[in-house]
Amino acid sequence: MQPIQPAQPQPALNPVWLAQSRLRRRKFDSCVDVCTSILDKNPYDQNWIDDLEIEEEVNQALQAYPEHTESHELLKQLKATFTML
């Protein structure tokens, strides 16, 4: 019987990739949480945010599903966040 090897440490996911992945999977609350945590760590690191692309995706989701509450909430949060910048 061979000895069990210790588990290798897993590299952390890139938080920007994680946020984009959650956005594509329509996990909007989770996406907002990841983005908020990134900006909490460094509020001046906003170069990666493409607010127009995100807003377009939310608008497309609302066209397909006009009653989708999370999309309406995400759009409100995006507008509030990006008008403050």
d(CA 2, CA 12): 29
Please check whether residue 9 lies inside any domain of the structure.
no
Please check whether residue 1 lies inside any domain of the structure.
no
CA atoms within 13 A on the CB side of 45: 10
Which range of residues forms the domain containing residue 52? 15-84
- pLDDT above 90 covers what percent of the chain? 4
The string of pLDDT tens digits covering residues 3-44 is 777 666 666 778 888 888 888 888 999 988 988 888 888 766
Confidence bin at 85 (pLDDT 50/70/90): very low
8 Å CB contact between 22 and 34: yes
**Tally of structural domains, the chain:** 1
pLDDT score, position 6? 65
pTM: 0.43
* Mean pLDDT (the chain, rounded): 76
CA-CA distances (angstroms) from residue 14 to 11, 27, 44, 57, 64?
A: 9, 17, 18, 21, 30
pLDDT score, position 19? 86
Please check whether residue 47 lies inside any domain of the structure.
yes
Please check whether residue 3 lies inside any domain of the structure.
no
